[in-house]
């Protein structure tokens, strides 16, 4: 537990991705089995305990801690679990602290009535960091800034095995992942996943700019619309039906309608959308179904899921990934025509003979939900990762507004000495007709390191107020902000939320009064 | 003045805590004619006093930090040596807080009051260890007076820093540490863990380190960080005042990893708010257990709480059957920064 607690503690404070990878890789290299397997499970959200820990903690505290002191402490610390870990009045116990595996296996095997005694014993034998990690582990909310994919990337970094191979076997395995670690440590062959509904790493595309399009030979490529949903992989193998996100997270639970419809013996690639009456709904509607463990019947009805299919990876046990795209596409169409599963359709192929024809087609496309165009080589095999020279995505030119810098916040990691996160606003009129700025977005990228230095000194010399790490600045500096789209939002004071805003240009020259008004943004709302 | 009614002879006024039968203040926050000063931190040792009774070390620190505004009439008192002032006898005893820090025992008509100043009871190789003084009235600090503050063994925190230096040898570990006391204690802790490479210092820390060494506290090889070649600082430990670790000054360091040695680092939100990547819980103040144990061990029937989180400590004091009172002294900062 000590090494795992130290790992979580460091991860929680470490902003850099590379340093997080190093911390995890070092842990996987040195921790014994099965502890490291359970740690991996915790980091990839693979551990669930059906025990009401919060209630148990509350009951245990009553017997050990003065309620006035607990309340004052809780108010100061701001987090109940952390407060418990810090002030737990440990009774002296000479037994060694528990191992991570002891804790996990004991909780899984224990009767509910035994849990409080077990827990009190562990809390007594751990230090504050150990208690904090124990509470995080048991309540299932690590929140240390590690995604499942990052943890798997650390496994790859430590073992030297490609990430794609790890992801390919991942979903056939269960904690504490003995077979996985045996393979990664070089002591055993890869775990056998034939015939299981496992995630096959996706093939991704490169962004292409307008000017690069001249290098494309139309005869070698096919074009498809790029839909504004999320890329998914759907599979039904060995009786298991699964829907995976682009990064291999299992999102089946949130989309039972889509998953149910899949016939046996298939792995598909497509875009997950919400569709109503044959129309793609705005991305916001899809977002309401994401990040849920389960979904209500009314939600299934009002926000029906749908996959627009792009590719066929497996049919039965046959791996099609080595075939050229054209052949896979023919197999996809034939398969779909045979099964016609509900909640799916096949993405249209767009005929074109020249890039200019494609451009005018796109300019004329009025359908909602189109985010751009995909260009795919006719002869490309399906290659995991982002291989060069095969697939291109051509996105619409971004929209722009001129907004005024209002607040700046310190960044993290390498940027912790800089005011690098910017909140900007647009003008609107108050009730009395006075102009006022209202925040419309926040961004921390799009500028160069040199510009960051200039922005940082601008913030420092134009600060009018500060709130902890945030500074309010004189409304003087204009940013040309690029963004993909703008949506209505009840959560923001301005009533709008931008998608993917970035600082396109700093307009040192432009007077703040000439920046855009809020109405300009609301006029661009797409939903 | 009734010796048994403490507030008849120990008073709070606009300048601080005043001992009437002795005619002096203890750690007054503005200039006075006569003062007893417990230790050299700037919120206790203010400029412009006339006569000051303090330890030799505290007076040296005041001279170094205050220059022309150092006490005009310094009077040295050794630990344990009684000094008569007016109708009272004053004796200084080690407080274990920083070099020269003292508790002040005031005896008046057979009644004993101890003003703790700031203190800690855990080991510190850079200053004399705390001595327990039985008394009737105990005037205590309360910087970390919440049960969540239980400072562990500081040696473990020094080891944590060294583990990180070994794990991330390409980064410069810049550690925020208060200039007087914390810096020297951290250096001594690192030396005790076997770290013998030079430790690099922000310019503001040099004078206090020199002073400690002049009093015989060995700190090993120290180098200035300001002016050192950027490449040379890679993989090194750099100590700086907390205000400099994540600001313009630290940009001169190659890929800095910010750390902070403070009792406040026990609370995650405090560390996160300041963008600390490696919090080190090292405090020069008593933690909750030390505060409550000390109060009990002094045998005091009444306890006054000077500054900090007094609500919790007063609740505890009253629940143990003692009289408790909050002094709410002004001018004390959020200490241990």
Q: Does any CB of chain A come closer than 8 Å to the CB of residue B248?
A: yes
Q: Which residues pair with A234 in a beta bridge?
A: A243, A268
Enumerate the H helices of A412-463 as residue ranges.
449-461
Together in a domain, A441 and A365: no
Q: For the ranges A98-102, A267-271, A516-520, B191-195, which has the lowest average pLDDT?
A: A516-520
Q: Is residue A10 part of a domain?
A: yes
Query: What's this model's pTM, rounded to 2 decimal places?
Result: 0.80
Higher pLDDT, A229 or B259: B259
Q: Is residue B106 part of a domain?
A: yes
Segment (H or E) for B290:
helix B288-298
Please enumerate in sequence order all residues whose Cβ is within 8 A of that of A209, keeping only pairs 6 or more positions apart, or say none.
none
From B281, B31, B8, select the one nearest B158 (Cα to Cα): B281
Contact status of A63 with chain B (Cβ, < 8 Å): no
pLDDT of residue A270: 97
Contact with chain A for residue B252, Cβ under 8 A? no
Q: Based on the domain organization, do A351 and A441 belong to the same domain? A: no
**Chain A residues touching B273 at Cβ < 8 A:** 468-469
Q: In terms of domains, do A357 and A285 share one?
A: yes
Q: What is the DSSP string of B138-179?
A: EEEEETT-STT-----HHHHHHHHHHHHHH-TTSEEEEE--T
Looking at residue B160, its pLDDT comes to: 97
Q: Do A87 and B150 touch (CB under 8 A)?
A: yes
Token reading at A229? 């949903």
Q: What are the tens digits of pLDDT across the range B81-122?
A: 999 999 999 999 999 999 999 999 999 999 999 999 999 999
pLDDT at residue A47 in the model: 87
**CB A282 within 8 Å of CB A317:** no
Nearest CA in chain A to B269: A77
- The reply to whether A129 and A253 lie within a common domain is no
Tell me whether residue B332 is in a domain: no
- pLDDT higher than 60, residue B332: no
Flag whether B292 is in a domain: yes
| pLDDT reported for residue B331 | 54
Looking at the structure, tell me whether residues B138 and B10 fall in a common domain: yes
CATH number assigned to the domain comprising residue A457: 2.40.50.140
Q: Which of B142, B144, B146, B174 to mutate to test the interface with A (most CBs of A within 10 A)?
A: B146
Give yes or no for residue A435 having a pLDDT over 60: yes
- Does B294 lie in the same domain as B276? no
Decide if B311 and A72 are in contact by the 8 Å CB cutoff.
yes
What integer is the mean pLDDT of A120-147?
92
pLDDT of res. B161: 98
CATH number at residue B200: 3.40.50.12650
Q: Taking residues A462-472, report their average pLDDT.
A: 88
Q: pLDDT at residue A473 above 60?
A: yes
Say how many domains are in chain B: 2
Residues A375 and A317 in one domain: yes
**Domain of residue B127, CATH code:** 3.60.15.10
* Rounded Cα–Cα distance for residues A66 and B320 (Å): 13
* For chain A, percent of residues with pLDDT exceeding 70: 98
* Structural domains of chain A, count: 3
Q: What is the C-alpha separation between B334 and B337, in angstroms, rounded?
A: 7
Shared domain for B13 and B137, answered yes or no, is yes
pLDDT value at residue A527: 57
Q: Using CA atoms, how far apart are residues B317 and B322, in angstroms rounded to an integer?
A: 6
User: In this model, does residue B335 exceed pLDDT 60?
Assistant: no
pLDDT at A400 over 80: yes
Q: Which of A201-215, A499-513, B290-304 has the highest mean pLDDT?
A: B290-304
Is a pLDDT exceeding 90 seen at residue A484?
no
Residues 6+ apart with CB under 8 A from A332: A268, A309, A311, A312, A346
Residues A379 and A455 in one domain: no
Stretch A267-281: mean pLDDT = 92
Both A413 and A370 in one domain: the answer is no
Same domain? A132 vs A9? yes
B247 touches chain A (CB under 8 A): yes
pLDDT exceeds 60 at position B333? no
- Given A139, A154, A182, the domain boundary residue is A139
3-class DSSP state for residue A35? helix
Diameter of chain A measured on Cα atoms? 80
Contact between A475 and A404 under an 8 Å Cβ cutoff? The reply is: yes
Both B264 and B319 in one domain: the answer is no
Task: Give the per-residue pLDDT at A193.
Answer: 73
Is A145 a member of any domain? no
- Give me the mean pLDDT over the A290-295 stretch: 78
Counting residues of chain A whose pLDDT is more than 90, the rounded percentage is: 57
Q: Indicate yes or no: CB of A128 within 8 angstroms of CB of B255.
A: no
Interface check B242 vs A, CB under 8 A: no
B212 found inside a domain: yes
User: Does residue B131 share a domain with residue B102?
Assistant: yes
Q: What is the pLDDT of residue B126?
A: 97
Kindly determine whether residue A79 and residue B248, on different chains, have CB atoms separated by under 8 Å.
no
What are the tens digits of pLDDT across the range A32-45? 999 999 999 999 98
The pLDDT-based confidence of A367 (bands split at 50, 70, 90) is: low
Across residues A336-347, what is the average pLDDT?
94
Is B238 found in the same domain as B305? no
CA pseudo-torsion sign B51, B54, B56, B57: negative
Please indicate if any CB of chain A lies within 8 Å of the CB of B151: no
Domain assignment present for A196:
no
User: Confidence band (pLDDT; 50, 70, 90) for A267?
Assistant: very high
Q: What is the DSSP string of A51-62?
A: S-HHHHHHHHHH
Residues B212 and B128 in one domain: no
Residue B319 forms contact with A (CB below 8 Å) = yes
Residues B12 and B140 in one domain: yes
* B243 located within any domain: yes
Question: Does residue A517 share a domain with residue A446?
Answer: yes
Residue % of chain B over a pLDDT of 70: 97
Question: Across chain A, what does the average pLDDT equal?
Answer: 90
Mean pLDDT of A94-122: 93
A2 in contact with chain B, both atoms CB, cutoff 8 A: no
- Which token pair is B72? 């005009």
Does A370 lie in the same domain as A222? Answer: yes
H or E segment to which residue B90 belongs: strand B88-94
Query: In this structure, is residue A449 part of a structural domain?
Result: yes
- Name the burial class of residue A385, with classes exposed (0-12), middle (13-18) and buried (19+) by CB atoms within 10 angstroms of its CB: exposed
Q: Cα separation of A157 and A136, whole Å?
A: 26
- From the list A356, A452, A441, the residue with the least C-alpha distance to A405 is A441
Co-location of A389 and A404 in the same domain: no
Of A333, A361, A395, the residue at which a domain comes to its end is A395
Residue B330's pLDDT band (cuts 50, 70, 90): low
Residue where a domain terminates, one of A112, A139, A166: A139
Please write the tens of the pLDDT for every residue from B129-181.
999 999 999 999 999 999 999 999 999 999 999 999 999 999 999 999 999 99
Q: Indicate whether A368 and A221 sit together in one domain.
A: yes
Judgement on whether residues B289 and B144 belong to the same structural domain of the protein: yes
Same domain, B127 and B176: no
What are B216-247's pLDDT values in tens digits? 999 999 999 988 889 999 999 999 999 898 88
Q: What is the pLDDT of residues B246-293, one digit of tens each?
A: 888 888 899 999 999 999 999 998 998 888 999 999 999 999 999 999
Q: Are residues B265 and B293 in the same domain?
A: no
CATH number at residue A291: 3.30.470.30
Residue B178 is assigned to a structural domain of this protein: yes
In sequence order, the 6+-apart residues with CB closer than 8 A to the CB of A290 are A230, A251, A254
If one compares B188 and A51, the residue with the highest pLDDT of the two is: B188
* List of residues 6+ apart from A451 with CB closer than 8 A: A506
**What single-letter DSSP state applies at residue B83?**
E
- Which pLDDT band, with edges at 50, 70 and 90, does A99 fall under? very high
Q: Are A73 and A83 in contact (CB under 8 A)?
A: yes
Question: Residue B98: inside a domain, yes or no?
Answer: yes
A66, A82, A417: residue with CB nearest B268: A82
- Integer Cα distance of A1 and A39 in angstroms: 9
* Mutation choice for B interface testing from A13, A22, A123 by most B CBs within 10 A: A13
B5-44 pLDDT, tens digit per residue, is: 999 999 999 899 999 999 999 999 999 999 999 999 999 9
Is-catalytic flag, A226?
A: yes
The CATH number of the domain holding residue A114 is 1.10.3260.10
Instruction: Name the catalytic one among A226, A393, A395, A510.
Output: A226
- At residue A208, the pLDDT reads 82
**Residue B333 covered by a domain:** no
- Is the per-residue pLDDT at A519 higher than 60? yes
Question: B280 CB contacts (<8 Å, ≥6 apart)?
Answer: B157, B158, B160, B161, B175, B186, B259, B260, B261, B262, B265
pLDDT of residue A383: 92
Residues of B in contact with A416 (CB under 8 A): 246, 258, 275
Confidence of residue B309 (pLDDT cuts 50, 70, 90): confident
pLDDT at A247: 80
Predicted confidence band of residue A378 (pLDDT cuts 50, 70, 90)? very high
- In this prediction, residue B329 carries a pLDDT of 67
Q: Which residues in chain B (212-241) have CB-CB distances under 8 A to chain A?
A: none
Is-contact A347 A223, C-beta < 8 A? no
What are the E-state strand segments in B155-286?
172-176, 199-201, 222-224, 237-240, 256-261, 278-280
Confidence of residue A262 (pLDDT cuts 50, 70, 90): very high
The domain containing residue A466 runs over which residues? 399-522
Full residue range of the structural domain in which residue B30 is found: 6-148+285-326
| B130 & B75 share domain | yes
């Amino acid at each position: 537990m000590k090494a795992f607690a130290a790992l979580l503690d460091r991860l929680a404070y470490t902003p850099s991705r590379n340093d997080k990878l190093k911390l995890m890789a070092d842990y996987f290299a040195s921790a014994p089995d099965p502890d490291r397997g359970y740690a991996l499970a915790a980091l990839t959200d693979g551990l669930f305990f059906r025990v009401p820990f919060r209630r148990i903690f509350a009951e245990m505290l009553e017997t050990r801690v003065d309620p006035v002191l607990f309340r004052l402490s809780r108010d100061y610390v701001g987090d109940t679990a952390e407060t418990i870990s810090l002030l737990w009045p440990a009774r002296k116990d000479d037994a060694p602290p528990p191992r991570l595996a002891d804790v996990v296996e004991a909780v899984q095997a224990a009767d509910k009535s035994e849990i409080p005694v077990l827990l009190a014993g562990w809390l007594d034998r751990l230090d504050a960091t150990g208690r904090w990690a124990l509470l995080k582990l048991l309540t299932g909310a690590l929140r240390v800034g590690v995604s499942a994919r990052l943890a798997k990337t650390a496994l790859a970094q430590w073992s030297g095995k490609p990430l794609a191979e790890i992801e390919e076997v991942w979903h056939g395995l269960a904690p504490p992942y003995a077979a996985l670690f045996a393979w990664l440590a070089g002591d055993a062959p890869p775990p056998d996943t034939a015939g299981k509904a496992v995630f096959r790493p996706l093939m991704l595309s490169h962004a292409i700019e307008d000017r690069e399009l001249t290098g494309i030979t139309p005869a070698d490529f096919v074009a498809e619309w790029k839909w504004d949903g999320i890329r998914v992989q759907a599979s039904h193998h060995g009786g298991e039906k699964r829907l995976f996100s682009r990064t291999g997270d299992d999102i089946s639970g949130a989309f039972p309608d889509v998953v149910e419809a899949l016939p046996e013996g298939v792995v598909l690639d497509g875009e997950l959308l919400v569709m109503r009456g044959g129309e793609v709904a705005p991305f916001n509607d899809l977002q309401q179904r994401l990040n849920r463990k389960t979904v209500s019947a009314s939600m299934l009805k009002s926000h029906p899921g749908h996959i627009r299919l792009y590719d066929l990876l497996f049919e039965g046990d046959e791996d099609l990934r080595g075939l050229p795209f054209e052949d896979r596409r023919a197999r996809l169409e034939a398969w779909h025509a045979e099964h016609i599963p509900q909640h799916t359709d096949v993405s249209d192929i767009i005929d074109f003979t020249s890039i200019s024809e494609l451009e005018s087609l796109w300019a004329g496309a009025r359908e909602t939900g189109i985010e751009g165009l995909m260009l795919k080589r006719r002869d490309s095999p399906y290659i995991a990762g982002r291989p060069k020279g095969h697939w291109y995505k051509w996105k619409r030119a971004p929209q722009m507004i001129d907004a005024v810098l209002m607040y700046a916040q310190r960044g993290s990691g390498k940027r912790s000495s800089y005011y690098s996160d910017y909140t900007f606003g647009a003008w609107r009129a108050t009730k009395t007709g006075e102009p006022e700025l209202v925040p419309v977005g926040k961004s921390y990228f799009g500028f160069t390191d040199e510009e960051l230095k200039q922005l940082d000194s601008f913030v420092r010399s134009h600060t009018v107020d500060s709130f902890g790490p945030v500074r309010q600045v004189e409304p003087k500096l204009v940013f040309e902000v690029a963004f993909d789209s703008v949506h209505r939002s009840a959560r923001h004071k301005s009533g709008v939320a931008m998608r993917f805003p970035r600082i396109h240009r700093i307009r040192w020259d432009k007077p703040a009064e000439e920046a855009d008004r809020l109405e300009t943004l609301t006029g661009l709302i797409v939903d | 003045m009734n010796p048994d009614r403490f507030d008849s002879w120990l008073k709070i006024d606009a300048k601080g805590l005043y001992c009437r039968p002795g005619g002096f203040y203890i750690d007054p926050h503005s200039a006075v004619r006569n003062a007893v000063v417990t230790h050299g931190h700037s919120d206790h040792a203010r400029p412009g006093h006339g006569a000051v009774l303090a330890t030799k070390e505290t007076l040296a620190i005041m001279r170094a930090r205050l220059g022309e505004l150092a006490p005009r009439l310094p009077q040295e008192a050794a630990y344990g040596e009684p000094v008569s002032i007016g109708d009272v006898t004053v004796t200084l005893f080690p407080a274990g807080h920083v070099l020269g820090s003292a508790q002040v025992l005031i005896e008046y008509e057979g009644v004993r009051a101890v003003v703790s100043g700031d203190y800690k009871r855990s080991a510190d190789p850079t200053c004399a260890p705390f001595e327990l003084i039985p008394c009737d009235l105990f005037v205590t600090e309360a910087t970390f007076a919440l049960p969540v503050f239980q400072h562990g063994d500081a040696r473990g925190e020094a080891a944590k820093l060294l583990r990180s230096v070994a794990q991330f040898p390409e980064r410069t570990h810049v550690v925020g540490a208060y200039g007087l006391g914390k810096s020297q204690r951290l250096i001594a802790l690192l030396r005790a863990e076997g770290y013998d490479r030079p430790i690099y210092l922000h310019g503001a820390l040099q004078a206090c380190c020199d002073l400690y060494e002049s009093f015989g506290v060995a700190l090993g090889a120290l180098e200035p960080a300001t002016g050192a070649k950027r490449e040379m600082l890679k993989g090194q430990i750099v100590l700086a005042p907390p205000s400099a670790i994540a600001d313009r000054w630290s940009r001169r360091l190659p890929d800095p990893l910010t750390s902070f040695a403070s009792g406040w680092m026990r609370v995650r939100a405090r560390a996160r708010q300041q963008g600390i990547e490696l919090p080190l819980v090292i405090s020069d103040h008593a933690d909750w257990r030390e505060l409550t144990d000390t109060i009990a061990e002094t045998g005091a029937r009444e306890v006054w709480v000077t500054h900090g989180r007094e609500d919790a400590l007063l609740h505890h004091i009253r629940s143990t059957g003692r009289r408790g009172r909050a002094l709410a002294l002004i001018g004390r900062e959020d200490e241990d920064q």
